[in-house]
Amino acid sequence: MLDISLLRKELGRIACLLKTRGFCLDIPKFEYLDNSRKNIQQETEMLQAKRNYLAKQVGQLKAQGLGTEDLMSESQSIPKALKNLEDKLSSLSNDINDFLYSIPNIPHPSVPIGLDSEDNIEIRRWFPEGMSIKNEPKPFDFVPRDHVTLGESLGLDLDLASRMSGSRFLFMKGKIALLHRALSQFMLDLHTKSHGYEECYTPYVVNAATLYGTGQLPKFKEDMFAVVQGVLKQDSGLDSDKLNEEQQYLISTSEITLVSAVSGSILSEDNLPIKLTAHTPCFRSEAGSGGRDVRGLIRQHQFDKVELVQIVHPDFSYDALEMVLIHAEKVLQLLNIPYRVVLLCSGDMGFCAAKTYDLEVWLPSQNNWREISSVSNCEAFQARRMKSRFRDKNGKINYLHTINGSGLAIGRALVAVLENYQQPDGSIVVPKVLRPYMDNMEILYPSSR
């Protein structure tokens, strides 16, 4: 959530910045809401002053033995008027909060201005030794299979999952399930043992208040799955007025639960930075996908992810952003998978982000780069919504900054391993860093072999 004082002081500038994100700030509405608040507060202060004045006058008249009936009658109407103003202010405060909740974060000055992914800027590419020609991925000397064809021979069963749950779910068994688990264990070990993150186990179900705090609600209501009386149900059928702290949802990312670990807290500066990681399933309806990637593991309703979160002092949040990016990159470097780093433009960033990098892996079957991780600095946007603060060495209380990143999306990492490590016969060479997690297997052969 943006600082309302920033809107009051620099409304025009903020509106221009938000426009670069494709968001039109309703300036007249904000001015109406804010002026209404001012008027109610001024009226309240006037009534309070009048109440105090009348009380003082009544006291003086009583001391002189004079009548106070008229003043008493006038003063008795004030509490009811103040209560009415208090109710109006409470209702108006809710309207102001709803307005603020709808506004995305403003982009950092280093973010390129643009409308969509066409305006993103490639920062760098990384290739394993001998796997590039003129900074392009070296092609296979055979026609590469896609990850679905490769996976099905190793235990991937999309048809079975579809019969159980519908489209965009998967069922894995045998070798591919083992490879999927190895990826998650490898990532967690790397981030906890080498990068200094504390491993967490978090709830997969959270209440609406938690999602408002981290920015998923109300913006992404249609992409969430709600848990209604113990039944998994897509939230599109729920009325917005039923949203309350008792409503529960399946998490779309463990960023939600990791960042919420400091919700409502005032931390000591000495406790910063906080570095957390978790492996969880994630649930998204993907309503806005426009039919893309229906086949395969790229875009699923349920998928797994190892998430990285840092909660830091504002002075160091952009250093932390670069650090989280390096940590996510290290996963792909150790897996020896070609990737590139892309800086997202203003119109392509997520709702809470002030700056975002994407990591994109090379998929031979698509002859294209596909996103596998987003690393974002949300600055104080989430912390302000969650009331997450810290006390500095001078005793001043400030909002924390939050950084999050996928480290990595496990299903998409699985896709990248299958496609980049495939051999002409459909077998898969197991990346060396994964072999200790797979009983030292070096090659996964198709089940028909």
Using one digit for the tens of pLDDT, what is the confidence trace for 316-336? 999 999 999 999 999 999 999
DSSP letters spanning 167-181 = SS--EE-THHHHHHH
Residue 332 within any structural domain of the chain: yes
Is pLDDT at 238 greater than 80 in this prediction? no
Q: Is 302 helix (H, G, I), strand (E, B) or coil?
A: strand
Clarify whether residues 160 and 281 are in a common domain: yes
Q: Work out the average pLDDT over 204-229.
A: 91
pLDDT at residue 285 is higher than 50: yes
d(CA 111, CA 380): 17
Check which CATH number belongs to the domain holding 339 and give it. Answer: 3.30.930.10
* Res. 97 pLDDT band, cuts 50 70 90: very high
Most confident of 61-75, 85-99, 287-301: 85-99
Peptide bond into 218 cis (omega under 30): yes
Q: How many domains does the chain have?
A: 2
pLDDT of 52 strictly over 80? yes
In tens, the pLDDT along 254-279 reads: 999 999 999 999 999 999 999 999 99
- Domain assignment present for residue 18? The answer is no
CA–CA dist 24, 277 (Å, integer): 35
Residue 276 lies in a domain: yes
Residue 231 lies in a domain: no
pLDDT of residue 231: 53
The full DSSP string for 338-380 is -EEEEEPPGGGS-TT-SEEEEEEEEETTTTEEEEEEEEEE-TT
- 149 is written with which tokens? 């064809």
Helix, strand and coil content of the chain, in percent to the nearest 5, comes to: 45, 20, 35
Residue 363 backbone dihedrals phi, psi, to 5 degrees: -115, 110
Q: In terms of pLDDT, which residue wins out, 228 or 125?
A: 125
* Contacts of 370 by beta carbon, 8 Å cutoff, 6+ apart: 298, 360, 361, 363, 412, 415
Lowest mean pLDDT among 57-71, 87-101, 222-236: 222-236
Q: Give the pLDDT score at 325.
A: 98
Q: Which two tokens stand for residue 353?
A: 């982000």
Please state the residue numbers annotated as binding site for ATP: 284-286, 371-374
pLDDT band at 449 (very low <50, low <70, confident <90, very high): very low
Better-predicted residue by pLDDT, 56 or 355: 355
pLDDT level of residue 247 (50, 70, 90 thresholds)? confident
DSSP 427-445: -EEPPGGGGGGTTT--EE-
To the nearest whole percent, how much of the chain has pLDDT over 90? Answer: 82
| Same domain, residue pair 268 and 372 | yes
157 and 92 share one domain: no
Same domain, 289 and 339: yes
Quick one: 98 and 150 in the same domain? Answer: no
Can you spell out the DSSP letters for 80-100? Answer: HHHHHHHHHHHHHHHHHHHHH
The terminus-to-terminus CA distance of the chain in angstroms comes to 56
| Contacts of the segment 157-162: beta carbons below 8 A, 24+ positions apart | 158/295, 158/296
Q: Please indicate, yes or no, whether residues 259 and 200 belong to a single structural domain of this protein.
A: yes
Spatial contact of 117 and 390, defined as CB atoms under 8 Å apart:
no
At 293 the pLDDT is: 62
Binning pLDDT at 50, 70 and 90, where does residue 243 land?
A: very low
Annotated binding site for L-serine: 253-255, 284, 307, 404, 406
Same domain, 264 and 158: yes
Whether residue 15 lies inside any domain: the answer is no
- Where do we find the tokens 């968001």? 23
Stretch among 28-37, 240-249, 336-345 having the lowest mean pLDDT: 240-249
Q: What are phi and psi of 207, to 5 degrees?
A: -90, 170
pLDDT at 56: 81
Distance, in Å, from the CA atom of 342 to the CA atom of 118, rounded to the nearest integer, reads 11
Of residues 241 and 229, more confidently modeled: 229
pLDDT of 246 > 90? The answer is no
Q: Which residues are annotated as a binding site?
A: 253-255, 284-286, 307, 371-374, 404, 406
Task: Determine the pLDDT at residue 291.
Answer: 53
pLDDT digits (tens, 9 = 90+) for 355-372: 999 999 999 999 999 999
Q: What is the mean pLDDT of the chain?
A: 92
Question: How far is C-alpha 56 from the chain's CA centre?
Answer: 55
Residue numbers of the domain that contains 336: 117-226+246-444
CATH number for position 33: 1.10.287.40
pLDDT value of residue 60: 79
- Assign 308 to helix, strand or coil: strand
SS3 151: helix
Is residue 4 over pLDDT 80? Answer: yes
Q: Specify the residue for token string 């940590």.
A: 327
Boundary residue ending a domain (102, 131, 160) = 102
DSSP character at residue 289 = G
- Under the banding of pLDDT at 50, 70 and 90, the label for residue 240 is very low
Q: Report the pLDDT averaged over residues 390-402.
A: 97
Q: Looking up tokens 């025009």, which residue turns up?
A: 12
> Among residues 77, 102, 127, which one ends one of the domains?
102
User: Do 95 and 128 share a domain, yes or no?
Assistant: no
Q: What is the pLDDT of residues 169-192, one digit of tens each?
A: 999 999 999 999 999 999 999 999
For residue 360 the two structure tokens come to: 């994109």
Where residue 288 falls among pLDDT bands split at 50, 70, 90?
very low
Q: Are residues 46 and 183 in the same domain?
A: no
Statement to judge: residues 141 and 197 lie in one domain:
yes
Q: Of 72, 102, 132, which residue is a domain's last?
A: 102
pLDDT band at 241 (very low <50, low <70, confident <90, very high): very low
State CA 211 to chain mean position distance.
9
